[in-house]
Amino acid sequence: MKSVADQLATQSSTPDEVSIKPRNRTHDIAAALEGEWMDNSAFLTAFFNGMSITFPVGEKFFIDSVRHYSDQIADPVLQSEIKGFCGQEGFHRREHQRYNETLCTTRGYDLEKIEGTLTRRLNWAQKNLPPMTNLAVTVAIEHFTAVLAELMLRPGSTIDNAEPSMRALWRWHAAEEMEHKSVAFDVYKAVGGTEELRRSVMRRVSFLMTIELTRALFYILRKDGQLFSLSVWRKGLAGLFGKEGVFGGAWPLYKAFYTVGFHPWQQDTRDLLDQWAAEPQPMSY
Ligand SMILES: [Fe+2]
Ligand SMILES: [Fe+2]
């Protein structure tokens, strides 16, 4: 039988070789944001810009919902991973806030209008839902970011066709999401989160995220005068959901979350982190 010390040591399940290290990087992306930086596609650029707009408010919510439980975590390794998680999400938040403000100023979007509904929804959740449910929401969205991170760090990803400074920013974010992909999950398990809640919250979160991302996409395409262009939609949807598209191969990764006993590191992605770390990093860091 395991000793108490061994049981505590198992609260963190991040592999030993993966360190969750916040990298305080800034990205010089103002010029890129003026154009169709993602694969020269108005649609994909709008989709990624819309997703960026949801990040700062989401990342604040993740930090709050994990921090709520940090004093209940006895394992010092998981404790230090929580600090790494909050540090990484904090820098992501700052960089995406800068990104979003520059984007909206440059292209004439109303930032408050795009992120307002999500902000109100998450504020409502913090006030009205149990902290365990909010942690389950975080676990669910962290799974989405882990899936997207994996797709972006794979060789041949669509992000490889992005303008270089944008590629660097999104892959930096992806790598850190991958490093900390099990932190919220491990905290959830350690404080007694159930499989049932985890899966039922994922269903609702998937629905709401689809609505939020679609809303942002429609707003941006309308502002850019592309909303009613059939060719933009045809090429854009293929670029998003086609076999070689941004989300090509995403379905089995997403679906794994619903299996009993799922764990983020059952998908071993350490080689992708190694490949990213071995890449020459841009000088602006
Ligand atoms: Fe993040
Ligand atoms: Fe994250």
Q: Which residues contact 178 (CB under 8 A, 6 or more apart)?
A: 146, 149, 150, 153, 269, 272, 273
Dist. CA 95 → ligand 2 center (Å): 14
On whether residue 205 sits in a domain, the answer given is yes
Ligand 1 centre distance from Cα of residue 98 (Å): 14
Ligand 1 centre to CA of 93 (Å) is 7
Counted domains in the chain: 1
* Ligand nearest to the Cα of 89, by number: 1
* Rounded to 5°, angle at Cα 284 from 280 and 285: 70
pLDDT (tens place) for every residue of the chain, 285 residues total: 445 455 445 799 999 999 999 999 999 999 999 999 999 999 999 999 999 999 999 999 999 999 999 999 999 999 999 999 999 999 999 999 999 999 999 999 999 999 999 999 999 999 999 999 999 999 999 999 999 999 999 999 999 999 999 999 999 999 999 999 999 999 999 999 999 999 999 999 999 999 999 999 999 999 999 999 999 999 999 999 998 999 999 999 999 999 999 999 999 999 999 999 999 876 554
- What pTM value is reported for the model? 0.94
Ligand minimally distant from the alpha carbon of residue 52: 1
CA of 79 to the centre of ligand 1 (A): 18
The answer to whether the Cα torsion of 274, 276, 280, 285 is positive or negative is negative
CA of 1 to the centre of ligand 1 (A): 38
Domain that includes residue 212, residue range: 40-277
CA of 69 to the centre of ligand 1 (A): 19
